[in-house]
Amino acid sequence: MNDDFSPEEKNGFYKAVFSRRDVRSHFTSEPIDEKVLSRILNAAHHAPSVGFSQPWNFILIKDKDTRKKVKESFDKERIRSSNLIDDPKRSKYLSLRLEGILDSAVNVCVTYDPSKFGPFVIGRSSIPETGIYSVCCAIQNLWLAARTEEIGVGWVSILSNDELKKILEIPEHVVPVAYLCLGHVTKFAEKPDLETAGWLSRLDLKDVVYYEKWNSSDDPQWRQIHEMIVSNLDYA
């Protein structure tokens, strides 16, 4: 078996990475084919996990009444969070479209269950958060697989986890990590919505790469390796 990636396969992977978007609008009413949804979920289930614990579960939500309850939680949390900032930024924040709960074909709540395979998980004893990190890897797999299937995904983080657990009847020990909206879209934006709206801009690679130690930008070796990294970028 040849495990090497062809140039076309490499290009396809990087295309998925760089064209992936957090979709809040542009959802269509077209349902997601069940085979496509299964492939997306299977890709998520094949994510790496600490101690091979596979601590995730995926709750699929199509019922409109359930989604309306989640939307109500979003609306309350959005108003509450808006009180943390002053105008004019508050008004801009409230004008942003930040969810597609009712418009998307299906919602998926991705959860973390720390009890899977018992209390001891290899690799989790020193850093307990690796369980949550594992679920985040599954979410990223799901997002990239969805993009290759031309399915938009939007992560709704302005929610009360306590309310979400009540609505979805999630056990007390299980933690909701992500509430995702999935569906066909009319388009994938060229840039992230918040970047287009002028809320924040993408940092340059040079602003997030250090050499050997934290904040090594004054080190000549850092400047040298940074120039090497930037000059060898094949993908935007």
Q: Report whether pLDDT(137) > 70.
A: yes
Which amino acid type is present at position 129? Answer: E
Residue 108, beta-bridge partner list: 60, 180
CA 141 to chain centre: 9
pTM value surpassing 0.85? yes
Other Cβ atoms within 10 Å of 50 Cβ, number: 21
Mean pLDDT in the chain? 91
pLDDT (tens digit per residue) in 186-230: 999 888 888 888 888 988 887 787 777 787 666 666 667 767 776
The domain spans of the chain are 10-195, 203-236
Q: Report whether pLDDT(179) > 80.
A: yes
Average pLDDT (75-100) is 90
Q: Report whether pLDDT(158) > 80.
A: yes
Residues 6+ apart with CB under 8 A from 84: none
CA gap 165, 175 in Å, rounded = 8
pLDDT at 217 (0 to 100): 63
Q: Which helix (H) or strand (E) holds 155?
A: strand 151-155
Q: Report whether pLDDT(17) > 90.
A: yes
CATH of 10-195, picked from 3.40.50.720, 1.25.40.10, 3.40.109.10, 3.50.50.60, is 3.40.109.10
pLDDT at 219 (0 to 100): 67
Q: Report whether pLDDT(101) > 70.
A: yes
